[in-house]
Homo-oligomer: A and B are copies of this chain.
Amino acid sequence: MKFEIMRDRLLDGLNDVTKAISSKTTIPILTGIKIDVTDNGVLLTGSDADITIQTFIPAEENGDQIINIIETGSIVLQARMFNEIVRKLPTNDVEIEVENEFQTHIRSGKTEFHLIGSDASEYPLLPKIDDENKFEIPADLLKAVIRETVFAVATSESRPVLTGVNWIIENDELICVATDSHRLARRKVKLENLPTDVDSIVIPGKSLNELNKILDETSNPVQIIMSNQQILFKTDHVLFFSRLLEGNYPDTSRLIPTEFKTNITLDGKTLLQAIDRASLVAREDRNNVVRFETLEDNAVKISSNSPEIGKVEEQIPVHSIDGDELVISFSAKYMMEALKAIDGQGQEVIVQFTGAMRPFILRQVNDDSILQLILPVRTY
């Protein structure tokens, strides 16, 4: 194996695939990056067994030569070390050569590194995914869908299936739901050409967080290919594979109330900032609970109280209060995360309650594609 490549292009590729590599892996070869050199270019692979990221650097692009392939072959190089070496090479021309089994030479200017690589044939094979069940979604919309749901997955492994986001395909809609059983986030997206064979999968929250880091804020399409055990996200340069979670995701649709006793519309940012302040005192207590109380004259009071630290209270104006008076307590953290997901910065938000001990929901006034549900906390 021998090739010459521009350092910057190699670095770009390494930046993508190293996101999949974990130093905590129990499979030693997965601390490495697999490099496959073919006649058409160089394929880089990084994996932590759950997530696998591949990127292909073509030998030629728009008529320009990017890589000079001298001899094809494969090697696995320790990821962190290889990455840092490439980053610190003195010139933009890099030559990589493997000889005598796994002896790898990295040359640039008058610098020469000699690393001991590993056998690429010991690197795990990627699962095969049928091209059948696929659809497309713009990258920026996919990022929004992830951001609006993934924060609500369970962090505890006591019900593993809840650590993922449930993607349901129903007619012409993709419905994404996450819940840790104390709160729930749901996002609906209308899409064309959705597959009909796969109707419900659960994607690990961690995978979606990593995918979000790789996707650009552009409207370029991301191709999504689903099977029963794997999902593949394809962009121009990157293939992102994730395993799916096994087990049946609970049916959450019946948890969402449809009739309400108190409806309050207000500015999302004003509420977020008041909760944030109340949380300064509340979070010193174990529960981080704030109290929310309707007042006369279109106002609500946000307060919290910690015997050791002190207390805080604040009145904020609301646009309207419709229905019963209400005093309710809930987690400041859940409320802040829900408001951030609705992205109510300066937007009108409606909060709909069914009593002090029942779940309540939040959404934008003119848009129900994003719904956030929170269970209140009993404080007496």
Say which residue of B116, B281, B284 sits within 8 Å of A309 (CB atoms). Answer: B116
Q: A90-B273, A273-B90 are in contact. Are A280 and B84 (CB under 8 A)?
A: yes
From 75 to 127 in chain A, residues with beta carbon under 8 angstroms from any chain B beta carbon are 78, 81, 84-85, 88-90, 104, 109-116
How many copies of this protein are present in the complex? Answer: 2
Q: Are A111 and B314 in contact (CB under 8 A)?
A: yes
Collect the chain B residues with CB atoms within 8 Å of residue A90's CB.
273, 277, 314
A327 within 8 A of B: no
> Which residues of B have CB within 8 Å of A81?
280, 284, 309
Which of chain A's residues 141-199 have a Cβ closer than 8 Å to chain B?
none
Q: Does A312 contact B (CB under 8 A)?
A: yes
Whether B314 lies near A116 (C-beta < 8 A) is no
The proximity string for A residues 278-294 relative to B, scoring 1 for CB distances below 8 Å and 0 otherwise, is 00110010000000000
CB distance B273 to A309 under 8 Å? no
Does residue A63 face the partner (Cβ distance < 8 Å to B)? no
In the complex, A380→B164 CA distance in Å? 56
Asked if B280 contacts A310 (CB within 8 A), the reply is no
Q: Can you report 29 A-B residue pairs in the complex whose CB atoms are below 8 A from each other?
A: A78-B309, A81-B280, A81-B284, A85-B277, A85-B280, A88-B273, A88-B276, A88-B277, A89-B277, A90-B277, A90-B314, A109-B314, A110-B315, A110-B316, A111-B274, A111-B312, A111-B313, A111-B314, A112-B313, A113-B277, A113-B280, A113-B310, A113-B311, A113-B312, A114-B311, A115-B309, A115-B310, A116-B308, A116-B310
